[in-house]
Amino acid sequence: NPMEDRISDIGPRHYGEFLPPVIKENKGKWLYHEILEPGVLVHVAEGGAKVFTVRCGSPRLLTINGIRDICDVADKHCDGFVRFTTRNNIEFMVDSEDKVAALKATLKTYGNQFPVGGTGASISNIVHTQGWVHCHTPATDASGPVKAVMDDLFEYFGTMSLPAHIRIALACCLNMCGAVHASDIAMLGIHRKPPMIDNERITGVCELPLAIAACPLGAVKPAKVEVRGEEVKSVKVNAERCMFCGNCYTMCPAMPLADPEGDGIAILVGGKVSNSKSEPKFSKLVVPWLPNNTPRWPEVVSTIRKIVEAYAKDAHKYERLGEWAERIGWEKFFEKTGLPFTEKSIDDYRLAYNTWRTSTLFKY
Ligand code: SF4
Ligand code: SF4
């Protein structure tokens, strides 16, 4: 095969090169794992080999110095190996129990930089999307609200005191590259106003047919408009049809829809991807909109705390948040959490005569 020896710098190196020896040697032979204490796991293989893992929270957006610190700990205790979980927790692994105490002692010397936890019936790191700095369609920030919420819920990271684990996620627009549709608690950035069309720039920066084709609801149509006395080609938006998704803006920078008053966060709860005990579930909308009250999003933080506390007090052991809400009934969910129920939590597609904005995700 002429391609076999081709040297390429495209893509990362194969992950297999970075596995600790004990993981490599026991590939496919792992029997079970246990949580020894909050944040500390043991995995046991067929032949008796063990891996002890100390899981630490991370702020997700890391400084170079922070990465150097992680590498220093990994060099000192883990032969240079370290891994990140899908929730951006940092996992330091050692191959015998007596090395765990020394590893934990080193982590302690960094103060609060490496909090140990995030296992079992806890609230682990919150997954989130890109936010205001890195993406073009966000209706809220990502790391900002997540930092504020996790700071408030930090007591649940290092303990396993909840009935079951709570997975929290944030996506900063309803394109949802953060997969908030199946989380116990989800923060979802939503726009509430249609795109604003910059007729002066539009033909210079956009391919109009692409902007028109980008709209999933057929709300963008070609139009002729007057700019400084001259007729120019542009588009018009049927505002009643628009669900504020931002797809047209992805194609056409002259159709921005971010708006300080329109944008905010919706809260959805009760989703899960696991099929343990009950089938996987989609999250359901319980709070239609909260403001982007920067820098600490107090309304979002206090709403999520209310949900967590009501669940912690009332749910059975091992019952996930959505299972609890279904057992007690959603009416009781609103009573116990103290959240007001609104018509925006009702799908009324039968009323879709002139708008498709009738589902709970974009009912404005
Ligand atoms: Fe961009 Fe939306 Fe993903 Fe946020 S959720 S990073 S706005 S695509
Ligand atoms: Fe269509 Fe979405 Fe643009 Fe609205 S925001 S016009 S629904 S593409």
Measure 101 CA to ligand 1 centroid, in angstroms.
Answer: 41
* pLDDT per position as a tens digit, 199-222: 999 999 999 999 999 999 899 999
How far the first Cα of the chain sits from its last, in Å, is 58
pTM of the full structure: 0.91
* pLDDT per position as a tens digit, 227-236: 999 999 999 9
* pLDDT per position as a tens digit, 74-102: 999 999 999 999 999 999 999 999 999 99
- Rounded distance between C-alpha atoms, residue 238 and residue 306, angstroms: 38
178 in contact with ligand 1, CB cutoff 6 A:
yes
Closest CA to 112 of 54, 72, 140, 151: 151
53 pLDDT above the threshold of 70: yes
Residue nearest to atom 1 of ligand 1 (CA): 135
Measure 260 CA to ligand 2 centroid, in angstroms.
Answer: 18
pLDDT recorded at residue 354: 65
Strands 168-171 and 127-128: parallel
Q: Which residues pair with 53 in a beta bridge?
A: 41, 93
Whole-angstrom CA distances from 305 to 61, 155, 238, 300 are 24, 11, 38, 9
Closest CA to 94 of 45, 195, 22: 22
**41-52 average pLDDT score:** 96
Q: Which H or E run contains 77? A: helix 64-77
2 pLDDT above the threshold of 70: no
175 in contact with ligand 1, CB cutoff 6 A:
yes
Nearest atom (ligand 1) to Cα of 129:
6
Which amino acid, 239?
A
- Rounded distance between C-alpha atoms, residue 246 and residue 173, angstroms: 8
Residue nearest to atom 3 of ligand 2 (CA): 248
Measure 252 CA to ligand 2 centroid, in angstroms.
Answer: 11
- Rounded distance between C-alpha atoms, residue 321 and residue 235, angstroms: 45
* pLDDT per position as a tens digit, 275-297: 999 999 999 999 999 999 999 99
Q: Which residues pair with 268 in a beta bridge?
A: 186, 285
C-alpha radius of gyration, the chain, whole number = 24
Helices 330-337 and 321-328, packing angle to 10 deg: 110
34 pLDDT above the threshold of 70: yes
pLDDT recorded at residue 349: 67
Instruction: Say if residues 338 and 305 touch (Cβ distance below 8 Å).
Output: no
What ipTM was estimated for this complex? 0.97
pLDDT recorded at residue 300: 98
364 pLDDT above the threshold of 80: no
* pLDDT per position as a tens digit, 236-273: 999 988 989 999 999 999 999 999 999 999 999 999 99
215 in contact with ligand 2, CB cutoff 6 A:
yes
186 in contact with ligand 1, CB cutoff 6 A:
no
Measure 170 CA to ligand 1 centroid, in angstroms.
Answer: 10
Percentage of the chain beyond pLDDT 70 is: 93
- Rounded distance between C-alpha atoms, residue 173 and residue 177, angstroms: 8
Measure 129 CA to ligand 1 centroid, in angstroms.
Answer: 6
Residue nearest to atom 2 of ligand 2 (CA): 245
Q: Is residue 93 classed as helix, strand or coil in its secondary structure?
A: strand
- Rounded distance between C-alpha atoms, residue 270 and residue 284, angstroms: 6
pLDDT recorded at residue 12: 81
Nearest atom (ligand 1) to Cα of 134:
6
41 in contact with ligand 2, CB cutoff 6 A:
no
Tell me what the pLDDT averaged over the chain comes to. 92
Measure 175 CA to ligand 1 centroid, in angstroms.
Answer: 6
Nearest atom (ligand 2) to Cα of 191:
5
Indicate the pLDDT class of residue 69, thresholds 50, 70 and 90: very high
- Rounded distance between C-alpha atoms, residue 119 and residue 133, angstroms: 30
Percentage of the chain beyond pLDDT 90 is: 83
- Rounded distance between C-alpha atoms, residue 9 and residue 13, angstroms: 9
